[in-house]
A = this chain, B = another copy of it.
């Protein structure tokens, strides 16, 4: 591909100048429309060492209001970054609605370097490619413009540039070890890049190979591509996108209505006894997973007043406070709403050896956001798959994922609501919204049934906690957590 890439034909100097000016003005005008239509743009600059990534980003941003873009540079992962899944640092830097994010190399660079340096074997490479394809698709599905540029120069040109940089002591530091390696093994590297392009060219996030020998000409190619892509995105802003078919193994599950809540209770004595022994066991397991550096994600969903808070407490009581965090999830704040709906979860993931407990989760997308119309039908229908993909990433990254649905019946909820209303210290726990949600019980039940059926993957299955007797639910939760952790320890 690199060898035979069909470049556009470079125009004459005068024409180039005119066209460049026109595109620069166009971009300046388009940024306002992006802001107005709340479209986020992610621009990835990859390319050969010394192909001019930094310089070209510098040229492009001249045409954009500094408040509307940010630039990020990725280098070798720090020790801290290594403790999160592969996509974590990339997901964390996606732009907000209406803004640009320019990346000076990113996931392509990391993966291809891994291959060249023989740190990624074939199987791992494939896994990375899958992650990347899903990541990019999930962004474009959610209205992101994703632009991928590869700045291409020839072996000879690269050598010339590296030599030039090394001549002056002011620029010498810019030539890294890998740049020289790349140049010496140009063909071998090119083959890795070509393979990568083939593996990651998609209709919604294609690759653009840019002839980067001349800066001006490279800038023109980039601006024309960017402007065109942005215009297309603006036209398509309200279009729905295809809903991918689920491709993950699902386990069978019951409907909520078929789950018996009867006889799921414990005496106070049984409860105390089991609580103590399970908590002791969990404490010990927490220690071991800390040492083995396994990240754990525990997700709680359930009816209002089902007893999530008390259930979580029985888990955390036995954990070393330095090794876990509870994330209460409310409606998203403005800066969260302005990004992909999974962003606020990606940025709250536990590092290796830590436990993150989510009190309400990303499943809000297919429950409250669906029922209250906070997102489009296309959005929530797509979300089942996006969620399965998200959890697959976590699973592949070595995480244990435990998902709880805390189940009660409608009468029990009424009892608890009424008790909360009548007990002064508990009144803060009950709001008008809870009563309003209760009125939609049947709609919610339908949504929950669909949600569980579609996201009950074998690598991250749902566990139902029958919680008419809270003691029973707590013990069951502890048992499941202990069991799941034992599997990996």
Q: Are B32 and A425 in contact (CB under 8 A)?
A: yes
* CB nearest neighbor in B for A72: B322
Smallest Cβ-Cβ distance to A317: which chain B residue = B62
In A126-174, the 8 Å CB interface with B consists of 170, 173
| Segment of A73-81, A365-373, A383-391, A433-441 engaged in the interface with chain B | A73-81
Is the beta-carbon distance between A428 and B57 smaller than 8 angstroms?
Answer: no
Q: Quick one: which of A383-416 are within 8 Å of B by CB?
A: none
Look across to chain B and name the residue whose beta carbon is closest to the beta carbon of A36: B428
Shortest CB distance A453–B (Å): 29
The answer to whether A328 touches B67 (Cβ under 8 A) is: yes
**A71 CB–B CB distance under 8 Å:** yes
Bound-complex Cα distance A80 to B79 (A): 10
Pick from A116-124, A183-191, A308-316, A457-465 the stretch touching chain B: A308-316
Q: Check: A334 CB closer than 8 A to any chain B CB.
A: yes
User: Beta-carbon contacts of A44-79 to B below 8 Å, as 1s and 0s?
Assistant: 000000000010011001100111001101000011
Closest CB in chain B relative to A40 CB, distance in Å: 16
Question: Distance in Å from the Cβ of A412 to the closest Cβ of chain B?
Answer: 21
**What residue of chain B has the Cβ atom nearest to residue A291's Cβ?**
B173
Which of B70, B78, B324, B425 lies in contact with A78, CB distance below 8 A?
A: B78
CB–CB B322/A54 < 8 A: yes
A32 CA / B29 CA spacing, docked (Å): 51
Interface presence of A363 (CB below 8 A): no
A265 adjacent to chain B (CB < 8 Å):
no
Residues from chain B with a CB closer than 8 A to the CB of A79 are: 78
Contact indicator A428/B35 (Cβ below 8 Å): yes
A195 CA to B170 CA, complexed, in Å: 47
Which B residue sits closest to A55, measured CB to CB? B320
Q: Is the CB of B36 within 8 A of A70?
A: no
Min distance, Cβ A94 to any Cβ of chain B, angstroms: 16
Closest residue to A60 on the B side, CB-wise? B321
A253 contacts B by Cβ under 8 Å: no
Is the CB–CB distance between B313 and A66 below 8 Å?
yes
Out of B80, B309, B325, B335, name the residue touching A65 (CB < 8 Å): B309
- Determine whether A263 belongs to the interface, using a CB cutoff of 8 Å to chain B: no
Q: Cα distance A54–B425 when bound, in Å?
A: 30
A67-B428 in contact given A78-B78, A287-B170, A321-B57 (Cβ < 8 Å): no
How far, in angstroms, from A423 to B165 measured CA to CA in the complex? 47
Select A313's contact among B65, B317, B324, beta carbons within 8 Å: B65
CB distance from A97 to the nearest CB of B (A): 14
Give Cα distance in the complex from A429 to B79, angstroms. Answer: 43
* A54-B321 contact given A65-B309, A328-B67, CB 8 Å threshold: yes
Given contacts A102-B321, A425-B29, A428-B36, contact A326 B66 (CB under 8 A): yes
Q: Is the CB of A322 within 8 A of B57?
A: yes
Contact of A312 among B66, B322, B425 (CB under 8 A): B66
- CB A326 to nearest CB in B, in angstroms, measures 4
17 contacts between A and B (CB under 8 A): A29-B425, A61-B321, A65-B313, A66-B313, A66-B316, A66-B359, A67-B309, A71-B324, A71-B325, A78-B78, A78-B79, A78-B80, A104-B321, A104-B322, A170-B287, A333-B333, A333-B334
Task: Sort A-B residue pairs by CB-CB distance and give the 10 closest, nearest first.
Answer: A66-B326, A67-B328, A71-B321, A73-B322, A57-B321, A66-B316, A58-B321, A333-B333, A66-B312, A104-B322
Further 6 A-B residue pairs, CB within 8 A, beyond A29-B425, A61-B316, A78-B80? A58-B319, A58-B321, A62-B317, A71-B325, A73-B322, A333-B333
